Amino acid sequence: MNSEELARQLRVRVDQALERWLPPARTCPERLHTAIRYAVMGGGKRLRPLLAYASAAWLGLPPERVDAIAVALEIVHAYSLVHDDLPALDDDPLRRGRPSTHVAFGEAIAILVGDALQAHAYLVLATDSTLNASPVARCQLVRDLATASGSSGMAGGQAMDMEAAGRPVDAAQAEFICGLKTGRLLEAAILMPCRLRPGIEPQWLEAAQRFGRAYGLAFQLADDLRDMDAPAEVSGKAPGGDQRQGKATLLSLLGPQATRARVRTLQLEARDALASWGPEADLLRWLCATTLG
C-alpha cells in the first residue's frame, strides 16, 4: 500500500477512535457534548494522529497500540483551536470552513469545551486499554502531553505570541515562539509512541526528537506561508489573521523567500534524522515531503 492510501485509512481510523472515545452527544450535559463533537469531529488534517501512527510504523508497533495517543493528541489540538479562535485571542470566526465553536455555541460554551476536552485527553491516556501500556509508560505519556501543551509548550507559545504582537521581535525569538506554539505538540506526536517500547535504544529517541523538532518548526512556517494569502474558501479560516493582528511571525520578519528556504533546510534536517532507517520510516518521510509544500 502506498503512503497516500495508508494516510487516508489512518485518518478514517482516528476518526473512528475519536467517535468511540468522545462522550456521546446525547448524554448529559447535552449541549456541551454536542459542542465538543462539533469542535473535534469537524474535519481537519489529523496531522498529529498521522504523525503518531507514522511513528508507530517506524517503531514496528501496530496502529491499534497508538489509537489512544492519536486521540489524546487530536483532542488537545482541537481544544487549543477552540480557545485560540476566541475573540480575546485570535478572534477567528471561521474554522475548517464552518463557524468557529464560539460562533456556533457562544463563548461560554466554547471556553468550557476547551476545558473539558483537555481533561478528556488525560482520561483517555490514563484509561484506554488498547494502548496496552505499562502504568509506567502511561505516566510518561501523561508527562509528555502535559509538558508539550502547558506553559513551557503550546500554551506558553500562544502567550508569547500574544505578547509579541505589535512589538519588535527578532528572528530567533519568532522561531522560539513558533517552536513552543506548534512544534512541541508535533514533537510529542513522534515521541509518545516511543514510550510503548520499554528499553528502547537511545538512537531511536534521539532520531524522534531530531525529526520532531525540525518537522514541527517547518510545519508552522509552511502553514504561515499557506495562510499568507490563501482565500477563506481554501484555508477555511479568515485570511491574513496574523498580519491583521500585527503578529511578528518569522514570515513577516524574513519575507516569503527566506522563509521558504528555512522550510527546505528544516525538511532536509528532518529527513536526515531518519537516514539510518529503511522502509519502516517511509510514512514519516512521506508526511515530511507532502505536508511542508
Q: What is the DSSP string of 165-176?
A: TTS---HHHHHH
Nearer to a copy of itself, 145 or 281 (CB): 145
Of 25, 61, 104, 162, the residue at the interface with a copy of itself (CB under 8 A) is 162
| Interaction between residue 108 and a copy of itself (CB under 8 A) | yes
Closest CB 186 distance from a copy of itself, rounded Å:
16
| Interaction between residue 290 and a copy of itself (CB under 8 A) | no
> To which residue does cell 476518526 refer?
15
CA 210/CA 204 separation, integer angstroms: 10
Site track for a copy of itself across 118-157, x = CB under 8 A = xxx-xx-xxx------xxx-xxx-xx-xxx-xxxxx-xxx
Nearer to a copy of itself, 17 or 125 (CB): 125
- Backbone phi and psi for residue 269, each to the nearest 5 degrees, phi listed first: -60, -45
Closest CB 5 distance from a copy of itself, rounded Å:
35
Closest CB 27 distance from a copy of itself, rounded Å:
8
**Stretch of residues binding a copy of itself (CB under 8 A), selected from 56-64, 83-91, 220-228, 271-279:** 83-91
CA 132/CA 65 separation, integer angstroms: 7
**194 neighbors 206 (Cβ within 8 angstroms):** no
Residues that bind a copy of itself (CB under 8 A): 23, 28-29, 31-33, 36, 79-80, 83, 86, 88-89, 106-112, 114-116, 118-120, 122-123, 125-127, 134-136, 138-140, 142-143, 145-147, 149-153, 155-160, 162-163
